[in-house]
Amino acid sequence: MLFKNRVDAGQLLAEKLSHYGSRFSSENPLILALPRGGVPVAFEVARALGAQLDVFIVRKLGAPGQPELALGAIASGGTIVWNQDIIRALSLSTASLQHIVERESAEVIRRERAYRGYRPQPRVSDRILILIDDGMATGATMLAAVQALRAKNPHKLIVAVPVAASEACNAIQQHVDEIICLEKPAPFFGVGTWYDDFTQTTDQEVSDLLARAYDRTERSEDVSNQEIFPDF
pLDDT of residue 226: 39
Question: Distance between CA atoms of 21 and 2, rounded to whole angstroms?
Answer: 25
pLDDT of residue 56: 94
Give the CA distances from residue 57 to residues 34, 79, 207, in Å, rounded to whole numbers and listed in that order: 6, 11, 13
How far is residue 132 CA from its own chain's centroid?
4
What is the residue-level pLDDT of the chain in tens, covering all 232 positions?
789 999 999 999 999 999 998 655 556 799 999 999 999 999 999 999 999 999 999 888 989 988 878 888 888 888 888 888 889 999 999 999 999 999 999 999 898 888 987 788 888 999 999 999 999 998 888 988 998 899 889 999 999 999 999 999 999 999 999 999 999 999 999 999 999 999 999 999 999 999 999 887 766 554 443 343 333 2
How far is residue 13 CA from its own chain's centroid?
13
In the sheet with 58-63, reading across from the earlier edge strand, the strands are 58-63, 66-75, 80-82
Sign of CA dihedral 19, 21, 27, 32: positive
What is the DSSP code string of the chain? --BSSHHHHHHHHHHHTGGGSTTT-SSPPEEEE-TTTHHHHHHHHHHHHT-EEEE--EEEEEETTEEEEEEEEEETTS-EEE-HHHHHHHT--HHHHHHHHHHHHHHHHHHHHHHHTTPPPPP-TTSEEEEE-S-BSS-HHHHHHHHHHHTT--SEEEEEEEEB-HHHHHHHHTTSSEEEEEE--SS---GGGGBS--PPPPHHHHHHHHHHHHHHHHHHHHHHHHHHS---
pLDDT of residue 230: 36
The 10 Å Cβ neighbour count of residue 19 is: 9
CA contacts within 13 A on the Cβ side of 198:
14
